Amino acid sequence: SVPSQTKWSKRHLSWRIRTFPKESHLLGRDTVRALMYYALKVWSDVSPLNFHEVAGSEADIQIDFTKADHNDGYPFDGPGGTVAHAFFPSDRFTAGDAHFDDDEAWTFRSPDAHGMDLFAVAVHEFGHAIGLAHTSAIESIMRPYYQGPVGDPLKYSLPYEDKVRVWQLYGVRDSVSHTERPDTSRSADPPVLLDLPENRSTVPPARDAPDRCSTHFDAVAQIRGEAFFFKGKYFWRLTREKHLVSLRPAQIHRFWRGLPANLDSVDAVYERPGDHKIVFFKGLKYWVFKDNNVEEGYPRPIGDFGLPLEGVDGAFVWLHNEKTYFFKGSQYWRYDDHLRRMDLGYPKDSMLWKGVPPQLDDAMRWSDGASYFFKGKEYWRVVGSDMEVESGYPRPISKDWLLCADMQSDSPALEANGTETRSHGQRHASHAENNYEVCSCTS
């Protein structure tokens, strides 16, 4: 292979997708963002580099989907042929930028024959963006020719050949990066967590799965812009557009990796501002997740936050001041996650949140800028920087968030023959049999 084309002197690199594929019916924007996020993560996992998404035009790595001659000396040539390119760190004006041919049929999790696997090509191009040139090594992701999909982005492991070449450029990644934390205050939300479960149809819902229409919830959180409702060992997920991903709950342990197997529920969950890591609370312990994998060294005691050793009912980050609020009983605390320090003068009486009941199940902020408080089967909404519940609340959680009609309860208890039974024992055909199915589209 040719010698590497210099390298970045800094370790924190920002990225942004400036233009998305025009034919986005194949891949939604959230999926494109998530695939770019995970393709960059392939390289940051094995090197001291860190990538964070930003919204502005000052990103180090600008990503474009474009076609034909786009004035950079590497014109595309329609479907097939050249499919993408990226610029080495040494390129004066376009260092790190990556261009993908918008005439290609970009795919994700499609059989080999159809289209071009975006994740595989993106990993290759970001190899150039950090300074790796082509190589003839058969195993390498930096071979110039498209080799087809490389499998599940969450399980992809870089070929050793490529790890060695990136270590030669930047050294290995030690557990703690010695450089100061990047200023990610301007960063846009990181992409949604890719949910790449094994084929769900082979996993029948467990008998003890709760009924979302007739239960209260242990924890509720906005994570990467999506809403998660936790109950027992299960959770429901709603996309950024508030679409329920599935009527059936997913199992916490199958998605949130690293929690103890005997954990039967969680108390509170929130996404930490700044590094967007996700914090789970149960009893006197908490876990920190990077994406959906727990970090080393957890669980730790909640005393780290300066919280009383009684546990936590709820936690959320108030958009108005980016402070983290913890609720327990009829009290609340205010914590600064940027300084990692409890603010003085707390706890205070939760009555200050006028109209919000004590003993909450949880709270969360939502993409409409409001804050939501959950208790039992109801929720309350507080707008913007108010501390008073909006009129017309409480409202039913099941109806407004979880696609339940009034008083409907489709108990998940499945009989052997696959039909579902209502909570009061009445047998009814599964939705699919009478041509009625509730579907939700996710990114």
Active site residues: 125
- DSSP assignment of 54-81 equals -SSTT-SEEEEEE-S--SSS----SSSS
Q: How far is the CB of 296 from another protein (least distance, A)?
A: 36
**What is d(CA 396, CA 402) in angstroms, rounded to the nearest whole number?**
10
State which residue, 82 or 411, has the beta carbon closest to another protein: 82
CB-count burial class (<10 Å; 0-12, 13-18, 19+) for 78? exposed
Let me know: does 251 contact 238? Beta carbons within 8 Å: no
**What is d(CA 166, CA 47) in angstroms, rounded to the nearest whole number?**
7
- Record the tokens describing residue 335, joined without a space: 């914590």
Binding-site ranges for another protein (CB under 8 A): 2-3, 74, 76, 80-86, 104, 116, 121, 124-125, 128, 133-134, 136, 138, 144-146
State which residue, 81 or 384, has the beta carbon closest to another protein: 81
State which residue, 81 or 171, has the beta carbon closest to another protein: 81
Q: How far is the CB of 161 from another protein (least distance, A)?
A: 14
State which residue, 121 or 247, has the beta carbon closest to another protein: 121
**What is d(CA 336, CA 393) in angstroms, rounded to the nearest whole number?**
29
Question: Position of tokens 């993408």?
Answer: 84
Largest CA distance in the chain: 71
Q: How far is the CB of 94 from another protein (least distance, A)?
A: 12
State which residue, 11 or 134, has the beta carbon closest to another protein: 134
Which conformational region is residue 330 in: left (phi greater than 0), alpha (psi within -120 to 50 degrees), or beta? alpha
Reduced 3-state DSSP string for 311-336: CCCEEEEECCCCEEEEEECCEEEEEE
Let me know: does 78 contact 102? Beta carbons within 8 Å: no
Q: How far is the CB of 196 from another protein (least distance, A)?
A: 24
Q: How far is the CB of 259 from another protein (least distance, A)?
A: 40
CA dihedral 169, 171, 177, 178 (to 10 degrees): -90
Let me know: does 97 contact 62? Beta carbons within 8 Å: yes
State which residue, 76 or 372, has the beta carbon closest to another protein: 76
State whether residue 33 is helix, strand or coil: helix
Q: How far is the CB of 138 from another protein (least distance, A)?
A: 6
Q: How far is the CB of 85 from another protein (least distance, A)?
A: 4
CB-count burial class (<10 Å; 0-12, 13-18, 19+) for 65? buried
